[in-house]
Each structure stands twice: as structure tokens, then as C-alpha cells.
Structure 1
Amino acid sequence: MQVKNQYKKFVGILLHILMWVVFALTFFSRQPLLSGSTVILVMLIAAFYLNAYVLVPQLLLKNRVSLYVIVACVVVLSITYFSGLAEHIIDSWHLSRVSFYELINIPDAGPEALLGFRNVFTIIMSGLIVGISTAITTIQKWQKDRQEREAMEKEKVTTELSFLKAQINPHFFFNTLNNIYALTATDAAVAGRAVHQLSRMMRYILYDTAQGHTMLSQEIAFVNDYISLMQLRVTDAVTISVDVPASFNDVAIAPMIFLPFIENAFKHGVSATEPSNISFALQQQANRLDVTVKNSVIKHNSASLDTNSAIGLTNTRRRLDLLYPGKYTLHINQPGGGNDYVVHLVLNL
């Protein structure tokens, strides 16, 4: 990165040098080396950088516009005055008559008339240089401010996503550990397999998702592991179905984006005695994912449905807003006349 910055700085300096060389050759190539034109060129270069690095940052960009205009006018008039003074001291009239002054095409014009035209030319040229310097500096400042805002926004988004993910993970682990704890009292062998599955899922969360994204195949494998783990504690009264295409386009996706919906389905759609069902269905068309999570609503769980699931669903909505702004739709069908709680997510990757 440091080498890249040094290279960019070197290229910038080189471009400035080439700019002034072209400028000098274009406007002053026919002038004697020792003349007022040389003084003008030196003063224009000085005015350019004085304006770019002092006047614009310290005055114009700090809303001291009136003072900036006054100082800029003083700079332009100073260039005109000192270039005329240099012309008078150098006395290059006899050297430059065949060059600059003849280009004006004013027959029999004396030094005074031509010097007046030269002053007008100097004022125009000085104003143009100061204006270009102001425009370049202002644009660079605007671009720098925009890059800083984008960097701050990106950092803010990254921090918020990390915070939201940190909220989701403990929520998941607490639920899963409670399930394994319940298994230890009934079947130690099954509990051991559950611990192994949980360790594999933890490895996925801690390492495979460290970059902030994962592949769809990995996320589906994680969902299958989670559902398989949860099946260890449900009774035969619960019907669980998973509908995932056998082959699909393996695209990058935000990790654990489906987990809160599946967690809520198991938390609120499972009964040890009443018939209940949970289903997870995923369809893909190109880069469009269509995910539906459905669960039956158990009466003794329905009272806590909104309060207990609020954190997970709120965080997931926030993650979707940050990661896929304008690229997703999320519909949650609260149980009313029907008996199912349905979450439908359409995601354009």
C-alpha cells in the first residue's frame, strides 16, 4: 500500500511538471528567455500552488468567501504589477517586438500601448490560472470528503453487522445447548452425536464465515446440520420437510441469514403431543433465491411468538437492509385465520 501511494504521488508530481512545460511552450515559446513573460510564468506557477494549498483550504473551504475573493484579486493584480515592473527593469522591448508584440497585429503600436495589452493579457491569464487551481482543489477536496464518508459508512456498516451477528450467534447457541442438555437425560449416545454436530456448526460460524460471506452450498449444509440436530429432540408428532434443489448455482451469500427463521419455527412450531409441522423450501432462478419457512402455531407458544422472536427477526431485517438494500422482499404471515406461521424471503444476489 505504501509503495502504491508513493507511485501515485510520483505520477501526480510528474503530471504537474508536464502540465507547466506544455503551458510554457504554448504561451511563451516565442518570448526571449529573459523577459517579462518568464516572470509571469514563474508568478503564475507560484499563484497556482499558493491558491491550491493555502487560499482555498484556509479561506474558501472555511466559508470565508469574501476574504478569499479579495486576496485572490490582490494576487492577480500583484502578478500584473510585478510582471510589468520586471518588463521595465529588464527592458526587453527590443527583444520581444519580433515575438509576442507582433502577434497582436497592431501596426506602429508603441511600447505603452503594447504594455497595456500585455497587462490585460496577464490579468486574464492570472485569473484563469487561479480559477483552474480553485476548481481542481475544490474537486479534489470534494472527492476526498466523499471517499472519507464512504469509508466511514462502510466501517459503520461493518461494525453494525458484526454487532448484529454477535447477537444472533449467542441466541442460536443458547437454544442449541438447551436442546443438547435435554438429550443428556435421555440418551447419552445421541447427545454425543449432537455435540459433534454442534462443534461442526461452530467451526462454520467461527471460521468459514469470517470474511462476512459464504457460499450458498455451505449455508445449505449448515441449515441441514441445524435441522438434523433439532430433529434429535422432537417427537414423531412433528413432521419436518426440507425441499432444496439437488443442483443449484453456488453463489456468495450472507452467512446465517436463514437461521433466525428456522430457529423461530422450531421454537414456536413444535409440540410434544399435538401434531405439528415445519418446512424449509428453497428455490433458485439465476441469482434469485426464494426461501419459505413455514411452521404450525402451537397454542401454548403463540402468546410469546411476537416477543421472543423479535430480536432475531429485527436483526435479520437490519442485516438484509445493510447487505441487500433494495434487493430483497421479506413477508411474514402472522397466524390469523390459518394455523401456519409463514416467512417468505426473496433475495436477489
Structure 2
Amino acid sequence: MLGVVLLLLSPLSWRMGEIDLPVEYWWKQAFLVLLLLFIFYTNQSFVVPRVLLKGKTYTYLLMAIIGGILFYFIIVYFEQLIQYPLRMHETFNPDRPFDPKRRWIPGDVFQEMLYLLSVGLSTSLALVQKWQKDEEHRQELEKQRIKTELSYLKAQINPHFFFNTLNNIYSLTNLDVKKAQEALLKLSRMMRYVLYENQKETTLLSKEVDFIRDYIELMKMRLTDKVKLHIQLDEADDNHIIAPMLLLPFLENSFKHGISSQKESDIYIKLEIMGNTVFFETRNQIFPTNPDSPEAKEHGIGLVNTQRRLSLLYPGKHRLKFGKDEENQEYYVNLTLNLE
């Protein structure tokens, strides 16, 4: 399009009176367009990728300069071959003698500018294409990295969950066989959720809430009267989706570290749904644990992993705060999650 505008249409706008341009002029223009096209695509497809993008900057600049010189002499040779200077002189200056050694300097400068424009545009195009390919490759690597990392994080969460749950059921077998059987039934339903839903990228929020309820009911079976649960879970519809088992580590930590065998304790669990936003909160007392126990060593593993999952799956769409409230001697977790 640029060649058509500059080399073919523009001359038609400055035809002088009844003077018709000689056919040699159009031959020269057509040759110039083809030559510039050859330079454009050769530079874009071969020279830039194999020279400039390989770090050979000075070699590329030298090739561009040599190319400009060759471009000039090729045009001069073609003009002499078709007798272009003579025909243009006869058209515009028929009363003056023709000097074959005399060149029209502005025309030569204009042609060299076209050469530089062709090289510049083709170089820019090649660099943009290289940047696009690198960006696509980077995004693909980032997707694979995130996918691998999420699989690793979920693999850490699942054994963490089953370890605690099986310990609970094992404790019930020595106290109440019927409750242990009920716990196994609930665990089997939860396992189906873990095996099928956790393999997906997302699941219905309603299924996640049902999973939370089952988990809480399972925990209730081993709690004594010293533990008071304050549960508030909103009903979820089927219009919202969420990453599976995203909230489980918060629940695990509440039951694992907020219960004492000697003192009374309170656990607060709240899930509120407002439009596309989910507000999740847990609070529990802080009871010291044996620093050599497995619980102490595993403390925070699920919470840290979930924090990482949130940063990968919901960048800019979540706000997570957790820590110790020294005034009330409580550990709290506040999560605000936008599911849009």
C-alpha cells in the first residue's frame, strides 16, 4: 500500500498540463516497488532474525549501509538499461541538450529515503514479531509453571487433610463405634469430593460449602462440651464457582490449634456471600503446643499453601489477613474473595 501511494498514485497528481509521462517512468516505478518489497521481506524474514537478533548489531548496520549503496547502483543501472534519464529529459526539457552524466540529486535522495524506510519498517516488524513470540512462549511457560505449582500445592493440602481426619476417626474407635461408623460415611462422601472435584480447576461454591459443613460435622463428633462452635454459613447457589478445597486449611487450623483438653474454647466460623463476593472468617483461641510434636511442625503449612494458591488463582481479586490478636488472645483469618 505504501508503495502504491508513494510510487504510483503520487506521480498522477503532479502531471504537468498535457504532458504524459513516458512509459519508461512506469517501468522504473514498478521496478522500484518490486525492489523495495524484496528488501523489506528479505530484511524482515532473514537478515534481522539471523543477524540482528543474534546480537551482531555492527554487522547488521554494515550490511544495511552496503545494501543502501547496492540499492543506489542497481537503480542507476536499471535506469541506464531502459534509457530512463533520456526519456525524462525529452519529456520535460526537450529544448536543452541532454547530459547523460548529470543526475537529479533530489530524486536519488528520495529513493535512498525509501530504502531506509523499507529497512526501518521491516526491522520494526521483525522485532515486534519476535517480541510477540517471546511473550507467547513466556505466557505458556508461566501457565505450565502455575499448573505444576498448583498441583504441588494441592498435593500438599490433601495428605494434610486426610492425616488429621483419620486421626480423628482413630480416636473415635476407642470411644464410640457408632460415631466412628458415621464418621467413615461422612469421610467417604468428602473423599468423593476430593477425588473428583479437586481434580478440576473450579467447582461450584455450593459444593464447597457442603464440603465445609461435612467437615465441621465430622469434627463435632470428637469435640467435648468444653468446645463451643459458632457457625454461620450462607446458602450458596449454583451461579458461583471457586477453586476446590480452598478454604479447608483455615478450618483445619481452627480445629487443630484452637482446642484444649483442659480449658474451654470457642471457635468462630463465618461464610457470608454478597453478590459475587465471599467473606470468610475464622477465629479461635491460641493454645500452646509441644514444639516437638508433629502438629507444631506442620502448623501453618496449609495456610501458607493456600495463600500461594490465592495469589496464583485470584491475583488482585482477594484480600487475606491472618495473625494473632494479642488483645483477645485469638488467632484470626479474614478472607475477602471476588468470584467474578
- TM-score tier (shorter): 0.7 to 0.9
Give the secondary structure class of the aligned counterpart of 2:326.
Answer: coil
C-alpha contact (below 8 Å) 2:277/2:337 kept by paired residues: yes
C-alpha contact (below 8 Å) 2:253/2:300 kept by paired residues: no
224-233 vs 34-43, which deviates more? 34-43
Q: Aligned partners of 1:191, 1:329: CA distance in 2, in Å?
A: 38
Structure 1 residue aligned with 2:75, among 83, 86, 98? 83
Structure 2 residue aligned with 1:316, among 306, 313, 316? 306
Q: Aligned partners of 2:38, 2:175: CA distance in 1, in Å?
A: 86
Structure 2 residue aligned with 1:35, among 27, 31, 40? 27
Report deviation, 1:59. 2.1
1:50 corresponding residue in structure 2: 42
Q: Aligned partners of 2:291, 2:331: CA distance in 1, in Å?
A: 10
Structure 2, gaps ≥5 residues long: 13-20
**1:216 and 2:208 equivalent?**
no
2:15 corresponding residue in structure 1: none
Structure 2 residue aligned with 1:327, among 317, 321, 326? 317
1:251 corresponding residue in structure 2: 240
- Would the alpha carbon gap of residues 230 and 82 (structure 1) be closer, same or farther in structure 2, given more than 3 Å must change? same
C-alpha contact (below 8 Å) 1:234/1:272 kept by paired residues: no
273-282 vs 109-118, which deviates more? 109-118
Structure 1: which amino acid aligns with 2:64?
A: A
Give the secondary structure class of the aligned counterpart of 2:279.
Answer: strand
1:7 corresponding residue in structure 2: none
Instruction: Give the aligned length.
Output: 328
1:153 corresponding residue in structure 2: 142
Report deviation, 1:116. 4.3
Q: Aligned partners of 2:218, 2:95: CA distance in 1, in Å?
A: 100
1:12 corresponding residue in structure 2: none
- Would the alpha carbon gap of residues 83 and 27 (structure 1) be closer, same or farther in structure 2, given more than 3 Å must change? farther
What is the aligned-residue identity percentage?
38
1:261-340 to structure 2, matched below 5 A, reads 261-299=250-288, 307-334=297-324, 336-340=326-330
Give the secondary structure class of the aligned counterpart of 1:35.
Answer: helix
Report deviation, 1:259. 0.8
Give the secondary structure class of the aligned counterpart of 1:40.
Answer: helix
Q: Aligned partners of 1:198, 1:227: CA distance in 2, in Å?
A: 11
1:187 corresponding residue in structure 2: 176
Q: State the TM-score, normalizing by the size of structure 2.
A: 0.83
Structure 2: which amino acid aligns with 1:128?
A: L
Q: Aligned partners of 1:25, 1:254: CA distance in 2, in Å?
A: 61
Q: Aligned partners of 1:301, 1:241: CA distance in 2, in Å?
A: 27
1:10 corresponding residue in structure 2: none
- Would the alpha carbon gap of residues 224 and 90 (structure 1) be closer, same or farther in structure 2, given more than 3 Å must change? same
- Would the alpha carbon gap of residues 249 and 196 (structure 1) be closer, same or farther in structure 2, given more than 3 Å must change? closer
- Would the alpha carbon gap of residues 248 and 39 (structure 1) be closer, same or farther in structure 2, given more than 3 Å must change? same
1:63 corresponding residue in structure 2: 55
Q: Aligned partners of 1:288, 1:246: CA distance in 2, in Å?
A: 13
Report deviation, 1:172. 0.5
1:299-346 Cα distance to aligned partner (Å, 9 max, x none): 556997764312112112212222223433322232534343222222
C-alpha contact (below 8 Å) 1:249/1:286 kept by paired residues: no
Report deviation, 1:202. 2.0
Structure 2: which amino acid aligns with 1:85?
A: Y
Q: What is the alpha-carbon root mean square deviation over aligned residues?
A: 3.2
Report deviation, 1:247. 5.4
- Would the alpha carbon gap of residues 301 and 260 (structure 1) be closer, same or farther in structure 2, given more than 3 Å must change? farther
Q: Aligned partners of 1:238, 1:255: CA distance in 2, in Å?
A: 28
Report deviation, 1:276. 2.1
Structure 1, gaps ≥5 residues long: 1-17
Structure 2: which amino acid aligns with 1:174?
A: F
84-93 vs 301-310, which deviates more? 301-310
C-alpha contact (below 8 Å) 2:231/2:268 kept by paired residues: yes
**1:144 and 2:133 equivalent?**
yes
**1:227 and 2:216 equivalent?**
yes
144-153 vs 266-275, which deviates more? 266-275
Report deviation, 1:32. 3.7
Q: Aligned partners of 1:37, 1:308: CA distance in 2, in Å?
A: 78
2:108 corresponding residue in structure 1: 119
